[in-house]
Structure 1
Amino acid sequence: MLSGSQSYDVVVVGGGHNALVSAAYLARAGLSVVVLERLDHTGGAAVSVEPFSGHPARLSRYSYLVSLMPEQLMADLGLDVRLASRTTASYTPWLRGERSGGLLVERPEGEATRASFRDLTGSDEEYAAWQAFYAEVGRVAEAVAPTLMQPLPLEREVRSLVDPTTWADVVEQPLGRAITSRFADDTVRGVVATDALIGTFASMDDPSLIQNRCFLYHLIGNGTGEWRVPIGGMGAVTDALAKAAVEAGAEIITGAGVSAITPGPDGAEVDWHDGDGQHSVTGRRVLAGVAPWVLRILLGEGEEAETKPSGSQLKINFLLDRLPALKSGADPEVAFAGTLHLAEDYTQLERAYDAAAGGQVPDPMPGEVYCHSLTDPSILGDRAGSAHTLTYFGLHVPADLFDADPGARDTAVSRALASIDAVLAEPLADCLARDADGKPCIEAKIPQDVEKDLAMPGGHIFHGDLEWPWAPNRSRLDTPAQQWGVQTEHDAVLLCGSGARRGGAVSGLGGHNAAQAVLAEL
């Protein structure tokens, strides 16, 4: 229950990681803040759970890696969080006629990476193209990253810092053109393309450029684009954020389902229920950590089915008694330590998109596998050293597939397993641990599960299509909310979640930027 007055400087709707970032910054600045979270816990999609009975392994159920959260933000809030680098960036098994192998990209890249490219392609040309392309993209990251915790720059300001050819490749034309013109090998092309498709359903030639925006977000974090493993799981990140918010004086109420937000001349009123009764609270500002589509409903504007976001991913969590052997003969502790690409050659990705756009579950299913326990054994509890977690993230499985066909879920999971088994020297089923009831330790989540569990419309992990992390040149940037990319149609209501400009992924940027807008206004 609320303590004291039911009027606050700021009411934060939703208790995801961005909401907690906002609450921590604002409370540290001396404002009165209350966070209202529908579930019985905070963290949103960035949580750790023990999904398999009889096993202490804590898996990152939804979000699973961290790249975009600025180190400055973590320092500002004094977060006791450690992010560990993975020794392998990626490993991609390949088969060319009678030849087979694996494309290894080390972190940092060394001679083994060069040799791996040579083994696949027969020369050093493709690796030289790889190095040149990512050096150019790295310079884009170095230009954009410092702006993410500042008021929005205009597009022309960012463009002036970037090589014109690189800008055209990444920002102005479909990314597929740059990939197919710069790289000759189908596997290499696919490895580059996958960063454009995480949670994004698009062809690489899509004129909307949503794939380009997804690609950029995956490569600009802290100026390096490195994706790191949070020690203790994703829940360790949001637990630290909740602690920072509470210690600063913010009040967090769980089990508080918000039903309406009513803007007024001096702020807004928020109605919520706790299962026993209705309550209301007022705030000079209300920050919405929910998706913009959900916010419109809370504002009384009704549901618009045609504008509802649609997610595109299949997330499967596994617990293994041991890592499986690979057909390529690679050391599993090297191959699984980074991102293991499956059925993600460029032509396979495009065929999978065409199949899904035509209403069919892709076969083969493109996807990626991660083994966080190789980097962070602590998540295994007393099974450290005798077990491993495995996370599969499938591409090109839009929510529409599962709406249209109740059997599509089982088909998608089966094809994901087939894609994994295709590169293994033994069936994955032989390595699976079993829970206390003797069932295989497998947990699958489709977009509909994400919507049901987290109230993310359409199960879209970004709350909607990502936007460029800068403002169009003719933007109105008159108010602090506009300047920070968190504005809505109501002055007292701001976005603080993934739906804010620059808000996607586990970054805290939506929360930070909303807090800065509030501090500039109040």
Structure 2
Amino acid sequence: MSALPEVKPRKTRYDAVIVGGGHNGLVAAAYLARAGRSVLVLERLDHTGGAAVSTRPFAGVDARLSRYSYLVSLLPQHIVRDLGLSFQVRSRSVSSYTPTVRDGRATGLLVHRDTARTRDAFTRLTGSDREFTAWQEFYALTERVGQRIFPTLTSPLPSREELKARVGDDAAWEALFERPLGEAVESRFQDDLVRGVVLTDALIGTFCGAHDPSLRQNRCFLYHVIGGGTGDWDVPVGGMGALTDALADAARAAGAELVTGCEATRVATDGSRAEVTFRPVDGDGLPGDRELVVDADHVLVGASPKALAELLGEQPPTPAEGAQLKINMVLRRLPRLRDTSVDPRTAFAGTFHIAEGYTQLEEAYQQAVSGSLPTTPPSEIYCHSLTDPSILGPGLVEQGWHSLTLFGLHAPARLFAEDNEGARQSLLKATLAQLDAHLAEPLADCLATDAEGRPCVEARTPLDLEEDLRLPGGNIFHGDLDFPYAEPGAGRWGVETGHANVLLCGAGAARGGGVSGVPGHNAAMAVLGR
């Protein structure tokens, strides 16, 4: 995290004031400042980065973890080049490993960059090449779609018909844009586990079923498979905070002024000129009594659409609730697996799926809909330190320590409303029990302890994320994702609001969600008229 020394703005008028110093706000600030605009970024917390930060959550443990957001797929390389960022990602040789039990035998599905290894894994699991062939065909389809759609994310929004023509494949369009994704999954795959592995990308941070008529699952799936035109999810070298530190450096180097510990409380505009009122935050993290005001030609808001409405004094929308449990851990060693055919360093190198068979996902969803925590909570894990050990202190690397990050599905905010702490602990216990079911030793035996002797494991619910980061309902996307074409009222870039000089530059903009910098780039382009 980049902690900054400024305590108040140096001026009272700017070409652009950006509310929120998350990665999108920093992208917008860097582009605008490089174009010669005077830019002020106001951040409520005492550091920039928003959800894309690295922290040391465990006392006395030299492990700098990507605490809230983990992997990079949707960040266009031209943004890295345009802004001269000192930032790199590393690819993973393993896409995923999914443990299961077949005929009483511990086994699993390994999806590897080596096609022959993946074919062998499918054959061992299912007894034939059929599912492997269907897998290859389906992901060839998504890659073709990704190659055609991804370059459009940083251009003015295409119309629906323009994007359909660009995709140029009626069958792909029907499967991904028109019909519930469950139909495509069920028509192509027969094995329940394989179906589940495919569906998981449609449910990350999105609470719905495979056949939801809203197609929320389709939109979520699309953003998970088009990144970079390949759908690859890469590891940020140095952790996610390395990206936002580089963005903050780029913005400051270009002349942007970054002020932390100041919370915007009101935005007033007549469409051509705006005033932003803010208050310095006190030691308790609450806005103090002293109000300050700056003028701006444009105001860009990296906070949620709900927060923007509140700043403008308008009726806020009701956002879709978040639905995830996030768990960060540090281990003294990787646990041994019941499936002895795969090395733990291979199994945890990609995405490790837990209780994510197709039927299991639907059962967990139905339980959550009925108001109960899932008894078999689905989740997925990845190990940053296997690909990038730089997040660990040298001594920890030498001792074989590792980080594990878990993302739990189908855990909507409503389930934590009555007793957040109790529900958090119950779901944490149930989730780790599902992992233990596939391990040859208890995970607890592998966990490191902090300076106070406590296990290095922390869990964050949607309500925790709302409190920590002001994510409405804990929704990591600020609301439902959109298809990447122009919906009614979306505007030219998908960042416009009902006020000509007030723009969204965060995850709640069209083509938002995930660590991409796309909304920040597009808001800057809207200001610059490009």
TM-score range, shorter chain: over 0.9
The answer to whether the 8 A contact 1:267-1:286 is kept is: no
Q: Which residue type is aligned with residue 289 of structure 1? A: G
Q: CA deviation at 1:201?
A: 0.4
For residues 88-138 of structure 1, give each alpha carbon's deviation from its aligned partner in whole angstroms, at most 9, with x where no partner exists.
1000001123233110001x2321110000001100011000000000111
Q: Alignment partner of 1:218: what SS?
A: helix
Q: Percent identity?
A: 57
The answer to whether the 8 A contact 1:367-1:395 is kept is: yes
Query: d(CA) in 2 for partners of 1:503 and 1:247?
Result: 26
Question: What is the aligned partner in structure 2 of residue 454 from structure 1?
Answer: 469
- For 1:239-318, list aligned pairs within 5 A: 239-275=245-281, 277-303=290-316, 307-318=318-329
Asked if 1:441 is matched to 2:437, the reply is no
Query: d(CA) in 2 for partners of 1:116 and 1:308?
Result: 41
For residues 261-300 of structure 1, give each alpha carbon's deviation from its aligned partner in whole angstroms, at most 9, with x where no partner exists.
1112422110000145210111100000000011101111
Query: d(CA) in 2 for partners of 1:344 and 1:308?
Result: 26
Query: d(CA) in 2 for partners of 1:172 and 1:310?
Result: 24
For residues 164-209 of structure 1, give each alpha carbon's deviation from its aligned partner in whole angstroms, at most 9, with x where no partner exists.
1111111101000100110000000000000000000000100000
Q: CA deviation at 1:303?
A: 4.9
For residues 344-365 of structure 1, give each alpha carbon's deviation from its aligned partner in whole angstroms, at most 9, with x where no partner exists.
0000000000000001111111
Query: d(CA) in 2 for partners of 1:362 and 1:76?
Result: 45
Question: What is the aligned partner in structure 1 of residue 284 from structure 2?
Answer: none
For residues 290-313 of structure 1, give each alpha carbon's deviation from its aligned partner in whole angstroms, at most 9, with x where no partner exists.
000111011112556xx1331010
Q: CA deviation at 1:405?
A: 4.1
The answer to whether the 8 A contact 2:238-2:390 is kept is: yes
Q: Alignment partner of 1:235: what SS?
A: helix
Q: Runs of at least 4 residues of structure 1 off by over 3 A?
A: 1-4
Asked if 1:15 is matched to 2:21, the reply is yes
Query: d(CA) in 2 for partners of 1:28 and 1:261?
Result: 25
For residues 202-259 of structure 1, give each alpha carbon's deviation from its aligned partner in whole angstroms, at most 9, with x where no partner exists.
0010000000000000011111111000010000000000000000000000001111
Asked if 1:372 is matched to 2:377, the reply is no
Question: What is the aligned partner in structure 2 of residue 159 from structure 1?
Answer: 164
Q: CA deviation at 1:451?
A: 0.6
Query: d(CA) in 2 for partners of 1:333 and 1:266?
Result: 57
Structure 1, unmatched stretches of 5+, are: none
- For 1:269-418, list aligned pairs within 5 A: 269-275=275-281, 277-303=290-316, 307-329=318-340, 330-382=342-394, 383-386=396-399, 387-406=401-420, 407-418=422-433
Query: d(CA) in 2 for partners of 1:85 and 1:11?
Result: 36
| 398-407 vs 339-348, which moves further | 398-407
Asked if 1:466 is matched to 2:486, the reply is no
The answer to whether the 8 A contact 2:319-2:480 is kept is: no
The answer to whether the 8 A contact 1:139-1:162 is kept is: no
The answer to whether the 8 A contact 2:185-2:195 is kept is: yes
Q: Which residue type is aligned with residue 40 of structure 1? A: D
The answer to whether the 8 A contact 2:9-2:259 is kept is: no
Q: Which residue type is aligned with residue 465 of structure 1? A: D
Matched residue pairs, number? 512
Q: Alignment partner of 1:21: what SS?
A: helix
TM-score (norm 2): 0.95
Give the alignment partner of residue 183 of structure 2, picking from 162, 177, 181: 177
Question: What is the aligned partner in structure 2 of residue 190 from structure 1?
Answer: 196
Cα 1:4–1:367 shift into 2, 3 Å: closer
For residues 483-520 of structure 1, give each alpha carbon's deviation from its aligned partner in whole angstroms, at most 9, with x where no partner exists.
11101111110000000101110000000000000001
Q: CA deviation at 1:455?
A: 0.8
Structure 2, unmatched stretches of 5+, are: 1-6, 282-287
Query: d(CA) in 2 for partners of 1:403 and 1:50?
Result: 28
Asked if 1:520 is matched to 2:524, the reply is no
- For 1:18-37, list aligned pairs within 5 A: 18-37=24-43
For residues 136-166 of structure 1, give each alpha carbon's deviation from its aligned partner in whole angstroms, at most 9, with x where no partner exists.
1111101101111111111111212331111
Cα 1:377–1:114 shift into 2, 3 Å: same
Asked if 1:490 is matched to 2:490, the reply is no
